[in-house]
Amino acid sequence: MPTTATTKPFLTYQLQLDLLKTRGLIVHDEPQALLTLKDINYYRLSAYSLTLRKHDIFYTGVTFDDIVNLYNFDDRLRRIVLRFSFAVEHSISAYLAYKHANNHGPLGYLNNQYFRDEKHHAAFINRLFQKLERSAEPAIVHHRNDLGGVYPFWVAIEAMSFDMISLFFKNMKTSDKKDISGNYYGDRGLYYHVENWLHCCVNILNIAAHGARFYNRILPAKVRYKIGDGGKFSSDSPFANFYAMFMLLPTAEQKTAFVNFLSHLFNEYPKANIDKLGFPNDWENILVI
């Protein structure tokens, strides 16, 4: 069907670079800049220039390298998030498998009486078994081919993605959530926080895994503050979501490593403004063990 919608014209790499230069951007090495534009989509890269210009005009002295520097900073930040969100995912799945099987038996995860919403549970189990049927994990294949397709929870959980783990936790009975939450700071009353922190951690893992931007943006999930931290930072900032991930890291060593990785990154990229990630000046005092 014909459309009357209009769009901007296609621009070659050279025309993209020429456009940036007409807007006041300084380009010291044009051949290298063209190679960068071939490697990074123009609009993905240009998002990192938003804090370096007013409307379409760059501030005096801003260079193409300044934009690339912010892009590289954010890329390094994504790698840190991936590393530590995987640590959260692995630890929470281990806690879930142990606690739920201990409380309700190896196949208790199949019984809807142990969950808050029967419809959500049915949809979840349907999705899980689709993944189990497609999985090539050796333990799952063994149970599928040699043990009649009966999967104890500690095997089935290996087919669950992080978002499924988060949804599974959300739909558990309160008593089971408290058992899991007791692993964090010895506080069974944190189950609402753990539910929220898992959701936030899934969101930032997805952002990092898809190469999306953390710098200079607001995130959709609002973080639940631990007592004493309310109002110290914006609840929908990247920092708030990193805070949620930090709270779920299973060991003091991993928490310390996370803070150190961030500190080293900020020292390596001094032109990156951590305010654009929602980091307060005393962020290291907030992320305490």
Residues 6+ apart with CB under 8 A from 6: none
Q: Decide if pLDDT at 5 tops 80.
A: no
Per the CB < 8 A criterion, the answer to whether 205 and 81 are in contact is: yes
- Two structure tokens written together for 242: 């990193």
In this structure, is residue 53 part of a structural domain?
no
Among candidate residues 246, 224, 249, 247, the one with its CA nearest the CA of residue 235? 224
Q: For the residues of the chain, what is the DSSP string, one character each?
A: -------PPP--HHHHHHHHHHTT-B-S-HHHHHHHHHHS-HHHHHGGGGGGEETTEEPTT-BHHHHHHHHHHHHHHHHHHHHHHHHHHHHHHHHHHHHHHHHH-TTGGG-GGGBS-HHHHHHHHHHHHHHHHH---HHHHHHHHHSTT---HHHHGGG--HHHHHHHHHHB-HHHHHHHHTTTTT-GGGHHHHHHHHHHHHHHHHHHHTT---TT---SSPPPPPTT-TTSS-TTSHHHHHHHHHHH-SSHHHHHHHHHHHHHHHHH-TTS-GGGGT--TTHHHHS--
**Residue 216 falls inside a structural domain:** yes
Predicted local confidence at residue 228, as pLDDT: 87
Which pTM was predicted? Answer: 0.93
pLDDT at 3 over 90: no
Provide the residue type at 137 as one letter.
Answer: E
Inside any domain, residue 145: no
Note the pLDDT of residue 1: 53
Residue 253 resides in a domain: yes
Residue 2 has pLDDT above 60, yes or no: no
Give 145-204 pLDDT, tens digit per residue.
999 999 999 999 999 999 999 999 999 999 999 999 998 888 898 999 999 999 999 999
In which domain, by residue range, is 238 found? 71-105+162-286
Residue 205 lies in a domain: yes
- Indicate the number of domains in the chain: 1
The pLDDT value given to residue 24: 98
pLDDT tens readout for residues 83-142: 999 999 999 999 999 999 999 999 999 999 999 999 999 999 999 999 999 999 999 999
Residue 289 has pLDDT above 70, yes or no: no
Percent of the chain with pLDDT over 90: 91
Q: Is residue 62 part of a domain?
A: no
Asked if residue 220 is part of any domain, the answer here is yes
Spatial separation of the C-alpha atoms in residues 9 and 127, rounded to whole Å: 43
Give the closest residue to 48 by CA, choosing from 31, 34, 63.
63
pLDDT value for 124: 97
15 domain residue, yes or no: no
Could you give the CA distance from residue 233 to residue 244 in angstroms, rounded to a whole number? 12
pLDDT of residue 230: 87
Which residues are CB-contacts of 156 (< 8 A; sequence separation ≥ 6)? Answer: 109, 128, 132, 140
State residue 186's pLDDT score: 87
